[in-house]
Amino acid sequence: MSDYKVHFLLPARLYKLAPFVYVGPDFRSLPLGVISDIMTHRGKQLQRLYPLTVAQVRQDGSQTDLLFCFTFCYINDDDKRVVFLTPPIKLKETGTSGALGMLLAEVEKLATFIQSSTIEIEQHEKLNDSISFPTSLSFLSYVMSSVKYQILDQKLYETFGYRKREEVSFFECEISDYSHGAQDTSDKYDVKNISPKELMEYKERSGGFSAKSFSLSQTDDALKPSVIPYFEDTVHTAWKRSWLRFQKSSAEGYMRWTPDLLEIDTPFPLLFFHSLEEMWFTRGSIFDWGLRDRDRELFNSLLSYAVCEMNKRGIQTVQFAYVGKGEEFVKDCLVDRGFKETHRLSLLRKEVG
Amino acid sequence: MKDIDMLFVHPSTHCLSLGSRVTDLVTFVTMPIGTIALADLLERNGYSTKIFHTGIEQMYNRDFQVEDLFKKCDPRVVGIDLHWFVHSYDAIRIARIAKEQSNAHVVLGGFTASYFAEEILSSFDEVDSVIRGDAEVPLLELMKNLKNERLSNVPNLTYRRDGSLEVSEMSYIAGEDDLRQLNYTNFKLLSNYDKYHRAISQSGDLDPYAWKVNVKRQAWVPLGRGCTVNCSYCGGGSMAHYGLTGRGRPVFHPTEQVVQTLSKFEEEGIDATYMDFDPFPDRGYFRKLFEEIRKEKVDISTEFALWSLSDRGFIRDFADTFNPLYSTLVMSPESGSEEVRRKNKGFYFGNEELFRWLRDARREMVSLEVYFASGLCWETEENFDETINLAKSILDDYPVVTISCGALVMEPGSPRFKEPEKFGIKLKFGTFADYYKHFMGLAMGLPTETQLGYDTIWQSERQIVENSIRFEKMIGTGQPSRWLSLLDGEDVLMFKKLPFHS
């Protein structure tokens, strides 16, 4: 492995091979090639972002980039540091086992350095070409239909000690195919739009949901859905109808959606946040959701309301994202309504140290 | 020890801080773009060469000493670039070491060396000659004529003979055919060239313990030489070029040569280029160049410094040509006051035209770098507020990746250096010795008498520095106010109304 080197680089070439949008820390300085984000955990300051490129070193000393992986550190809900890798992308269509080995060895060194005992790798299985933003559990979403050289060979990762731990699904439906059922006009629930502030407060008060969108961390601020700016009328909550006018109640669930930021031709959509208001979007994704109870009527009320709001804004294709492996109830509800699973993401994990 | 015909040494500027933590910062990292082409030209003519960038060497080997270079090789000639005045002290320091450690002929080149050629040769025995202006043919001639000591045959040369100074005729001015011959991509001549491409960026300093990390590889692209206007503060304007190089009008590198250079850059893994040569507002050259880049499918990002406003077609062309990851347009309004801008900048534009341009860039989804300056002539503390206000409105409403305001340092050869009274300037830097002393002070961590080298009749040097600090505090590290509201959830983005709803 001595003829490989790992560099701290984000090659421009990656953007042509695997276009992406980036919505994480330093999105304003990354176009200059500069990152500086520091996270603080248990009194220790750590660099968060590690864009890693593996290069092959030729005999004359010149180098060729072979493999890229966007790596970062986050704090999980057990208050532990985790090193997370977005899908490693080949920068040359060549054998990669050596380069991957070098990358993973370097990542283990990094994990030791930042005192993390867990490494996670995100892997994507395309069921068809269609996937809206966000396509990743991280803040770097590849345009999956355009990614040319992802390493999909799970067995290869297994040889390095990684095992599949989670599976997250994405569902999709054309609005024209969406089936409205009798339950949409629910006697039990009222659905209404709320403001981003109200959603933040509601989540803080809620005390947890029995069904909710999968996320890497509820506690790490950098990974919170609120880093994606809110559009008008994209947060919906369902309330139990009460005949007692002044009875205090709280919402039974919520759904939040975003237009598909992949429709903008730039790696840094947040930098152009003013321009987002000058665009029409055709796709949207419900990416942040939670239900107090696994109640079909509750789910359908929220979903139909969201679909209707999306339709009003010109959205033609609706995606329902981040459905975890155990959410059979949500999957059933979606399939009933005409949604199909279009994309699946696996999380491979290795404990180190 | 290896015999070598010519050793090029780039003198990085040092800035020593003797505070609670002693730091020796290496700053102004970029090397003049022509150094590689000069070394390559000599190689192709049978002379062995090597380039060392002292900052890069020091960055990766903290024990590096310039003396070490002379333990590795025994050069016949040592060439030191003194293009930018910031290298005034280190260039002479390295010349001194070269003389102590070898028998090499020491030659300087570049704008600062050209401007102060006679003073440098009169004051510093460690320098044997200075090439003034364009250096390609003069350097080749110097190599040929050094052995027989016929330096009078070398054009553009100021040198010492029998204790007196000789000045040869400025007869070489590079034209398009000369530029066509040059190769700027023979990186292997530069020691640690891969590290150099990692290190150069607009953010400047080399610091192994930096909290900001560069994740791209960058190279500057040669596009041409010369200028058509005279900004008050610039030592590379039209008149300065004429005085230093004899060039009356700008000359471009042929577009096919630039495309070849970019292809080679891409092959070498360079992610982004820096283009800073834009002397004609019609930009016909760039339309042709961009078309050829697209045709050749060169995949590279570009940081493009515009010298004047462009039309939307140019911005669209730019966006269509370059990889968007690290591509930015650089605009320097310098002042928020139209009057101050008019009196200082060669290419004037009003604020309304500037906002029209900014809207175009936003529509074309191009990232922007915006730069202002303090210390302009006719600038007062009051009209500097216009600069702060303009910067704030740009930061709030346009896709800005960086916005800053630097205090201008007096550039030798600039209109206000040459005619200080006309521009309301009280000079503190007047000679090469002034620059030398100033940068020696910085390198040794000593207090310096002046930071910028001038007062204006409107503001003291201290006020000028304070203005730039005030700007950075108010604008430089800020975020657009609406973005902060969006993050707090106090504001939301609106959807564009669908046509049938309007």
- Do B230 and B128 reside in the same domain of the chain? no
- ipTM score for this prediction: 0.93
Instruction: Convert the pLDDT of each residue in B37-87 to its tens digit.
Output: 999 999 999 999 999 999 999 888 888 999 999 998 999 999 999 999 999
pLDDT above 70: residue B203: no
> In which element (H, E) is residue A321 found?
strand A317-324
Cβ of residue B407 closer than 8 Å to a chain A Cβ = no
Say what the pLDDT of residue B4 is. Answer: 95
The answer to whether the Cβ–Cβ distance between A33 and B216 falls below 8 Å is yes
Place A247 in a pLDDT band, splitting at 50, 70 and 90. Answer: low
State the Cα torsion B245-B250-B255-B256 to the nearest 10°. -30
- CATH number assigned to the domain covering A174-344: 3.40.630.30
Sign for the pseudo-dihedral over CA of B238, B239, B245, B249: positive
- Do B156 and B228 reside in the same domain of the chain? no
The domain spans of chain A are 4-169, 174-344
CB count within 10 Å of CB A61 equals: 9
Say what the pLDDT of residue B202 is. Answer: 44
User: Which tokens go with B16?
Assistant: 């020593």
Sign for the pseudo-dihedral over CA of A225, A227, A228, A230: positive
Q: What is the CATH number of the domain that holds B220?
A: 3.80.30.20
Tell me which of B110, B142, B167 is where a domain ends. Answer: B167
Place B16 in a pLDDT band, splitting at 50, 70 and 90. Answer: confident
B-chain CB neighbours of A265 within 8 Å are 324, 365
| B496: closest CA of chain A, how far (Å) | 5
Q: Give residue A156's identity as a one-letter amino acid code.
A: L
Distance CA A266, CA A259 (A): 15
Say what the pLDDT of residue A15 is. Answer: 95
- Do B8 and B110 reside in the same domain of the chain? yes
Distance CA B29, CA B87 (A): 10
The answer to whether the Cβ–Cβ distance between B271 and A229 falls below 8 Å is no
Q: Flag whether B64 is in a domain.
A: yes
Closest CA to B454 of B484, B481, B424, B487: B424
Mean pLDDT of chain A: 91
The class of domain A4-169 in CATH terms is alpha beta
CB count within 10 Å of CB A271 equals: 24
Distances (CA, A) of A50 to A24, B101, B215, B276, B372: 12, 43, 9, 30, 32
Instruction: Convert the pLDDT of each residue in A137-191 to its tens digit.
Output: 999 999 887 777 777 678 889 999 999 999 999 999 999 988 776 556 677 889 9
Q: Flag whether B59 is in a domain.
A: yes
Cβ of residue B165 closer than 8 Å to a chain A Cβ = no
- Do B144 and B232 reside in the same domain of the chain? no
The answer to whether the Cβ–Cβ distance between A35 and B213 falls below 8 Å is yes
Q: Flag whether B187 is in a domain.
A: no
**Are the beta carbons of B25 and B58 closer than 8 angstroms?**
no
Residue A50: helix, strand or coil by DSSP? strand
Q: Flag whether B495 is in a domain.
A: no
Residue range B341-367: mean pLDDT, rounded: 97
The answer to whether the Cβ–Cβ distance between A31 and B495 falls below 8 Å is no
- Do B54 and B139 reside in the same domain of the chain? yes
Q: Flag whether B494 is in a domain.
A: no
Tell me whether domains A4-169 and A174-344 share a fold.
yes
Say what the pLDDT of residue A181 is. Answer: 64
Say what the pLDDT of residue A240 is. Answer: 87
- Do B262 and B160 reside in the same domain of the chain? no
Say what the pLDDT of residue A1 is. Answer: 44
Contacting residues for B341 by C-beta, under 8 A, at least 6 apart: B333, B334, B335, B348, B349
Region of poorest pLDDT, from A151-165, A210-224, B173-187: A151-165
Cβ of residue A165 closer than 8 Å to a chain B Cβ = no
Peptide bond just before A134 cis, omega within 30 deg: yes
Cβ of residue A113 closer than 8 Å to a chain B Cβ = no
- Do B96 and B234 reside in the same domain of the chain? no
Instruction: Convert the pLDDT of each residue in B110-131 to its tens digit.
Output: 999 999 999 999 999 999 999 9
Domain that holds residue B95: 2-167
Say what the pLDDT of residue B502 is. Answer: 44
Place B451 in a pLDDT band, splitting at 50, 70 and 90. Answer: very high
Q: Flag whether B202 is in a domain.
A: no
Q: What is the CATH number of the domain that holds B94?
A: 3.40.50
**How many domains would you assign to chain B?**
2
